[in-house]
Structure 1
Amino acid sequence: MQNYLLSIYQPDGGPPPPEVLDPIMRDLEEVNAEIKAAGAWVFSGGLHPPSTATVVRVKDDEALMTDGPYVEGKEHIGGFTVIRAADLDAALEWGRKLARAITLPIEVRPLQHVSGG
């Protein structure tokens, strides 16, 4: 089994109004329950807005910190889910279900296996 990161891309700006967001959150809870019931869920989380980010860069052995996201854009990663799937096709199916539920793009990417720890 391989772990996959399902990244949720959302547009910059505030959340949609409750009449739009509430059904999306209900559908998201249903998909998350399905992922958990299938034994594929590893963990997930939502992120605070990009304005809360701090970027750390090292230059000449000195850590430089700047506020905000690494790059300017019209969308950002708003949350993520890590799943365990037999193969990419299975992970893409979970990504499809998640995208349909929340009506936002989902990037599906395998995690590199790191041994030890």
Structure 2
Amino acid sequence: MQYLLLIYRNEAQQGQMEPADYQKLLAEYSAYTQSIVQSGHFKAGDGLQPTKTATTVRVRDGKTLATDGPFAETREQLGGYYLVEARDLDTAIELAARIPGARDGSIEVRPVMIYK
């Protein structure tokens, strides 16, 4: 079964990191990604640009409305994701717990719907 692991973190906190600490964090993500590629769990994954680059799209009464920024202001912002293959939710949770961002942010684990 496929699961989407959504990585939430505080952008402001990350923006205040010392360059050496940020490079260490990137190295941890690289090592994590390599480990799930090697184990066969990895399907896809990427980091996202900051929320200030986001555009929110809504369609109301047949009209498309595009506004700058994320849908809602929150303490933590969506910063990236992994799409993984896992035998069950427990395995997906184990994979999520190993993501470096789980230490100071949160990881949302969502099963992917399969349309037939």
Structure 1-normalised TM-score?
A: 0.89
User: What secondary structure sits across from 2:98 in the alignment?
Assistant: helix
Unaligned runs of 5+ in 2: none
Question: Does residue 94 of structure 1 match 2:95?
Answer: yes
Structure 2-normalised TM-score?
A: 0.89
Q: Deviations over 1:43-71 (max 9, x none)?
A: 00111111111111111111111110000
In structure 2, the partner of 1:73 is 74
Q: 1:69 to 1:94 in 2, by over 3 A?
A: same
Question: Does residue 47 of structure 1 match 2:48?
Answer: yes
Q: Percent identity?
A: 35
- Looking at structure 1, the residues matched to 108 and 27 of structure 2 have their Cα atoms a distance apart, in angstroms, of 21
Cα RMSD over matched residues? 1.3
Contact 1:15/1:21 (8 A) holds in 2: no
Contact 1:46/1:80 (8 A) holds in 2: yes
AA at the equivalent of 1:24: L
Q: Deviations over 1:49-102 (max 9, x none)?
A: 11111111111111111110000112210111100000000100100111xx33
Unaligned runs of 5+ in 1: none
In structure 2, the partner of 1:25 is 26
Contact 1:58/1:64 (8 A) holds in 2: yes
Q: Offset at 1:12?
A: 2.7
Q: How many aligned residue pairs are there? A: 112
